[in-house]
């Protein structure tokens, strides 16, 4: 006889969500990010201009009815490039964040839970990754293999980027495993993998999620920064960073605002929104019922 179960009562997640909804800034950010992402994904249906093909007749034209935000030095529509560029940039940043968070969580939780020798070996390895000169490595790599594509970029940045998350997760797990419910889990016969996945991770996942979100923002900076310098996304693929690199000459900055201002604003707004979202989630998760 199963009693009619009442509304699956107030889980900690529901409480956090209720708290999050009160945060107007964070909600606005979510809506903004949702729109930006949706527009980028729907790019092929929203604009008929080709973001890649060079059109000599329209080089460096200002905004007009045809080209809402004008064209760049290749005669390509800025709006189309913003949308397609967003696809590239957001895809890169989400993938990196996902890989970095998974790797970091894996290494960090194993090190934190088992401690002892496992911990010291894994953390020495993490230190090695952390001290790796990231920028130099990427530049040298690009110099040796100039034709690397987006996936190589994602893999390289991910492999060099998980150290911070691993350390964070490890420290959280170290603190969390002192709770008696972990000892209780051992005494009722849970295997280590179950203890980590069912008991420890759900209690530190909020920190991990917030960290993952902030990594997305950080990776937008990395992508735009590297692409601006010419070491990121290949120049023939539109990305927000590649659009910014058009502004490398003072001539463009002075006279053709439409080439760099829209992408600049979009990048800044997106990074801000992601950070507001992250902060809002952090606050929502940390409120005591």
Partner 1 sequence: MSQSKQSVGAPLLEITNLKKHYPIYGGIFRRQIGSVKAVDNLTLTLQQGETVGLVGESGCGKSTAGRTILRLTDPTEGSIRFEGQDVTSIRGEKLRQLRQNMQMVFQDPFASLNPKMMVGHIVSEPIRNYNRIQEKALTEETMQLLERVGLPAEAYYKYPHEFSGGQRQRIGIARSLALKPKLIVADEPVSALDVSVQSQVLNLLQDLQDDFKLTYLFIAHDLSVVKHISNRIGVMYLGSLVEIAATDSMYRSPLHPYTQALISAIPVPDPLKRKERIVLQGDVPSPANPPTGCAFHPRCVHATAICREVRPQLHQAAPGHQVACHLYTT
Contacts to partner 1 by CB under 8 A: 1-3, 5-6, 8-12, 179-181, 183-191, 194, 198-199, 202-203, 289
List residues bridging with 71 in a β-sheet.
77
Q: Which is nearer to partner 1, 6 or 250 (CB)?
A: 6
Residue spans of alpha helices (H) in the chain: 12-21, 24-41, 43-46, 78-114, 116-131, 134-144, 150-161, 163-176, 180-187, 192-194, 201-229, 240-245, 250-255, 257-286
Q: Which is nearer to partner 1, 16 or 214 (CB)?
A: 16
For residues 156 and 141, is the Cβ–Cβ distance under 8 A? yes
Shortest reach from residue 149's CB to partner 1, in Å: 41
For residues 72 and 259, is the Cβ–Cβ distance under 8 A? yes
Phi, psi of 77 (to 5 degrees): -65, 130
For residues 160 and 203, give the distance between their C-alpha atoms in angstroms, rounded to a whole number.
27
Residue 35 to residues 30, 115, 125, 180, 266, Cα–Cα distance (Å): 9, 44, 40, 44, 12
Shortest reach from residue 27's CB to partner 1, in Å: 24
Shortest reach from residue 263's CB to partner 1, in Å: 41
DSSP state of 53: S
Q: Which is nearer to partner 1, 48 or 187 (CB)?
A: 187
- Tokens representing 238? 């539109």
Shortest reach from residue 6's CB to partner 1, in Å: 6
For the chain, how many residues are written? 289
Q: Which is nearer to partner 1, 2 or 131 (CB)?
A: 2
Q: Which is nearer to partner 1, 91 or 119 (CB)?
A: 119
Q: Which is nearer to partner 1, 67 or 177 (CB)?
A: 177
């Amino acid at each position: 006889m199963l009693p009619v179960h009442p509304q699956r009562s107030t889980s900690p997640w529901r409480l956090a969500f209720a708290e999050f909804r009160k945060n107007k800034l964070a909600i606005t950010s979510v809506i903004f990010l949702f729109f930006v992402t949706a527009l980028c994904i729907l790019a092929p249906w929203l604009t008929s201009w080709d973001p890649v093909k060079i059109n000599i007749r329209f080089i460096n034209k200002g905004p007009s009815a045809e080209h809402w935000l004008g064209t760049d030095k290749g005669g390509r529509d800025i709006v189309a490039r913003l949308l397609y560029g967003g696809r590239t940039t957001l895809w890169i940043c989400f993938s990196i964040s996902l890989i970095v968070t998974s790797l970091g969580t894996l290494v960090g939780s194993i090190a934190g839970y088992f401690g002892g020798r496992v911990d010291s070996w894994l953390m020495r390895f993490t230190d090695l990754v952390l001290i790796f000169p990231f920028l130099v490595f990427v530049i040298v790599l690009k110099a040796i293999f100039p034709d690397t594509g987006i996936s190589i970029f994602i893999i390289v940045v991910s492999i060099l980027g998980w150290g911070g998350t691993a350390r964070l997760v490890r420290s959280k797990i170290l603190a969390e495993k002192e709770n008696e419910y972990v000892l209780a889990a051992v005494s009722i016969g849970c295997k280590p993998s179950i203890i980590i996945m069912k008991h420890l991770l759900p209690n530190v996942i909020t920190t991990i999620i917030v960290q993952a979100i902030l990594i997305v923002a950080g990776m937008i900076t990395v992508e735009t920064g590297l692409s601006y310098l010419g070491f990121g996304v290949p120049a023939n693929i539109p990305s927000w960073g590649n659009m910014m690199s058009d502004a490398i000459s003072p001539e463009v900055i002075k006279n053709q605002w439409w080439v760099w201002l829209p992408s600049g604003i979009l990048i800044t707004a997106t990074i801000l929104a992601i950070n507001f979202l992250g902060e809002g989630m952090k606050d929502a998760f940390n409120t005591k019922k």
